[in-house]
Chain A
Amino acid sequence: MSTTYRAIDWNRQKRLYDRTLGGVLLLGLGTFMGISVWVSPNITIETLLLRGSAVSALLLLHVLLCIGPLARLDARFLPLLYNRRHLGVTLFLLALLHGTFATVQFHALGDENPLVSIFTAYGRDYRVIADGRVQLSHFPFEPFGIAALVVFFLMAATSHDFWLRNLGASFWKALHLGVYLAYGSVLVHVALGALQSERGAVYPALLAVGFAVVAGVHLAAARKERRFDHAVPRAERDGFEQTCPVDAVAGNRGKVVLVGGQRVALFRHRDRIFATSNVCRHQGGPIGEGRIVDGCITCPWHGWNYQPEDGCSPPPFQEVLETYDTRIQDGRVWVRRTANRLEHRCPGSAVASS
């Protein structure tokens, strides 16, 4: 959290994250280049860089896409999520390196502007059906790479919280969901490009396994979420809805419950139960999976803080969560279905000591 603009709010964990990322990338690129030169001694340095950046970017994209759902399935993946935008910016730089090398090597120094040549060199091959036959294998692959690069650029350029704040959370989130569009474009780019030149079953199989892993972790996370959202509605009384037993909310920990079909975060702090919206004002993180740290609700994604009593971030921060009135009856927590007005101070419900 920061009240002033800083390009990167460096801290020890961030430095560690970036150093690790850099080290793994260098190890991967070094491995690729070393083995490439070994199996193909005549390969040019341009081709090495072009292919090395492509393979690194593709692997990084798969890791990046898996982190989100894996963190939903197991909170121990959250340390990878915290600086995920650094992975995104690195991915963009690798893709830019690949795209620049490819454009210069394959389209520059000719009789056409290279940026025009990328789209026009293949002439009639944009026709999927020619001579009465479907001919996908000749369809141009480079425009799909360009499309992915544009999405990666937009995501990298708007990855800073400055843009999140100024574009608005909904628009920002929608823009960054474009990563799935980019992933689709990358798959087509590879399938119509490299896989048409390199024969054999292993490369297509690897691409299929990668897709299966990405799809699999997303489906598993979606299944978990869906099961939660379709829980049987509980009793309602005086505008309050019955939720979990009081003992299910551990001290200084959160718990997500359904109230009126919406997710609400319960927290137990100093033997009182508080309820807030489950959606962090920063990037929509699941507040209820967070903790109370130093007296503040702390989001598990990026550590944004809110006071349990009024949902306000501690001064000088200005973010506010909606709060809900609670009551404890029959050993269970009851939560009012309608949220309080913003910044409404809510004392919480005292938990009777046993």
Chain B
Amino acid sequence: MNDDFYIGYRDESPSALARHTRRLVAAITAIAVGLTALVAGLQTPAEPGTFEYGVKRTFAGVLHESPLPMLHSVSPDGSVTNYLLVGSGKHGLPAFARGHDGQRVRFQGSLIQKGAGILVELNDPDSFLVLASSTAAENRPADEAIGHVVLTGELVDTKCYFGVMRPATGKVHRGCAVRCLSGGVPPGLLLRDVTGGAVVVLLSGPNGQPLQFEVGWAARIVRAEGRLTWRGTFPCLEVARLSLAHPEHE
């Protein structure tokens, strides 16, 4: 009589209904898994990058605090590496590393790297040591000037972009970028070409000062005008003027 009436607290479902339910669940599963696969397959691939979270390496060199915190390091074989320095979490150069501009230091930290851009997260205050005065070879090299330029790109936080977050751009990452930039992580301007190639230009203020800007512009397309230089492996823009780009650029 009740061959197709379902009562959930009974042990068995009527057989005809159970067959229908099995087919229904199979169909829902197939649709759900198919849609999941489609959504997953259409994601924009995350860019490469490395964050050696939990791994500590020792770094030594001359610390330059401004306009962008960097460690200028010369290896025994004479090769030069410039490391952009950030703190743990969403912070810039930590307090324990400040006040040592131009001094030779050694510390332990975690490597963040994308291509030629290398950052170090200073996350071990006890390992930070000020060493003897710097040698001439380790002094900051002269910036290689390129010229006055106007650039349009996405305002990013360099710590995430160079490997901590993948992906580290766009609106979904915006809250994080705001917090990082607000916390003192050096800002960068992400430039993309039509072939998908990308480069980040570090942004600093005029006269060797950090850039003063509206952190709420993080992940927005901005227009930056100023003097472009090479500082080690990093292209840097000494920004004279920064504004939100027109909507047609976004």
Known A-B contacts A40-B45, A47-B166, A106-B175; A206 and B39 likewise in contact (beta carbons under 8 Å): yes
- Contact between B2 and A12 (Cβ–Cβ < 8 Å)? no
Q: Which of A77-94 contact B (CB under 8 A)?
A: 77-80, 82-83
Please report which residues of chain A, range 51-103, place their CB below 8 angstroms from some CB of chain B when the two chains form the complex: 51, 55-56, 59, 63, 75-80, 82-83
- Decide: A117 and B179 in contact? CB cutoff 8 A: yes
The answer to whether the Cβ of B139 comes within 8 Å of any Cβ in the partner chain is: no
For chain A, the count of residues having a C-beta within 8 Å of the partner chain is: 77
Which residues of chain A are near B170, meaning CB under 8 Å? 196-197
Closest to A130 in B: B244
Q: Within A172-204, which residues are at the interface with B (CB < 8 Å)?
A: 192-194, 196-200, 202-203
A44 near B165 with CB under 8 A, answer: yes
Of B5, B25, B172, B250, which is within 8 A of A300 by CB? Answer: B5
B45 near A138 with CB under 8 A, answer no
The yes or no answer to A215 lying at the interface (CB within 8 A) is no
Q: A28-B33, A63-B32, A79-B13 are in contact. Are A39 and B175 (CB under 8 A)?
A: no
Give B1-52 interface residues, CB cut-off 8 Å to A.
Answer: 1-2, 4-13, 17, 20-21, 24-25, 28-29, 32-33, 35-49
A13 sits at the interface (CB 8 A): yes
Contact in complex: B172, A194 (CB < 8 Å): yes
Interchain CB contact under 8 A, A79 and B8: yes
Nearest residue (CB) in B for A105 is B176
Q: B167: CB under 8 A from chain A? A: yes
**Minimum Cβ distance to chain A for residue B246 (Å):** 10
Which of A27, A82, A199, A200 has a CB less than 8 Å from the CB of B8?
A82
Contact string, A114-130, partner B, CB cutoff 8 A, digits 1/0? 00011001111100000
Q: B227 on the interface (CB 8 Å rule)? A: no
Which residues of B from 203 to 247 have beta carbons under 8 Å from A? 214, 216, 220, 247
Decide if A252 is an interface residue (CB 8 Å cutoff): yes
Once the chains are docked, how many angstroms separate the CA of A11 from the CA of B8? 8
**Which of A78, A110, A124 meets B216, CB within 8 Å?**
A124
In this assembly, does A291 line the interface, its C-beta being within 8 Å of a C-beta of chain B?
Answer: yes
Q: Which of B85-93, B97-105, B130-138, B194-202 contacts A (4 or more CB under 8 A)?
A: B85-93
Q: Which residues of A contact B165 (CB under 8 A)?
A: 44, 47, 105
In-complex Cβ contact of B182 among A79, A80, A108, A112 (8 A): A112
- Chain B interface size, under 10 / 10 to 19 / 20 to 34 / 35 or more: 35 or more
Contact indicator B175/A59 (Cβ below 8 Å): no
Count, A-B residue pairs, CB within 8 A: 195
Stretch at the interface among A30-38, A149-157, A317-325: A30-38
Instruction: Flag if B9 contacts A293 (CB, 8 Å).
Output: no
Minimum distance in angstroms from A30 CB to a CB of chain B: 9
Per-residue interface assignment for chain A, residues 16 to 38, with 1 indicating a CB less than 8 Å from any chain B CB and 0 otherwise: 00001000100110011111100
Residues of B with C-beta under 8 A to A32: 36-37, 39-40
Please give the distance in Å from A135's CB to the nearest CB on chain B: 7
Given contacts A47-B46, A293-B2, contact A203 B9 (CB under 8 A): no
Contact B166 A43, beta carbon cutoff 8 Å = yes
For residue B209, give the distance in angstroms from its CB to the closest CB of chain A. Answer: 20
A-contact bits for B164-178, CB 8 A (1 contact / 0 none): 011101111111101
| A298 is an interface residue with CB less than 8 A from chain B | yes
Whole-angstrom CA separation of A31 from B172 in the bound complex: 22
Question: Do most interface residues of chain B lie in helix, strand or loop, or is the interface mixed?
Answer: loop
Residue A111 is within 8 A (CB to CB) of chain B in the complex: yes
**Is residue A224 within 8 Å, beta carbon to beta carbon, of the partner chain?**
no
* Residues of chain B within 8 A of A298, CB atoms compared: 5, 7
Contacting residues, chain B, for A83 (C-beta < 8 A): 8
| B183 interface contact, C-beta 8 A | yes
Asked if A39 and B179 make an inter-chain contact with CB atoms under 8 angstroms apart, the answer reads no
**A303, B179: Cβ atoms under 8 Å?**
no
> What are 20 contact pairs spanning A and B, CB under 8 A?
A12-B12, A13-B10, A28-B33, A42-B49, A43-B45, A63-B28, A80-B24, A105-B165, A106-B175, A109-B88, A109-B179, A111-B90, A111-B182, A111-B183, A121-B174, A122-B178, A142-B175, A202-B42, A293-B5, A303-B7
Q: When the two chains form their complex, are residues B89 and A110 in contact, meaning their CB atoms are under 8 A apart?
A: yes
Shortest CB-to-CB span from B116 to chain A, Å, is 17
Known contacts A83-B8, A138-B220: A59-B49 contact under CB 8 Å:
no
A172→B78 CA distance, assembly (Å) = 74
Q: A34-B40, A203-B42, A303-B8 are in contact. List 16 more A-B contacts (CB 8 A).
A: A11-B8, A24-B32, A32-B36, A35-B37, A36-B43, A63-B28, A79-B13, A108-B89, A123-B216, A193-B171, A196-B170, A206-B35, A293-B2, A300-B6, A303-B9, A303-B10
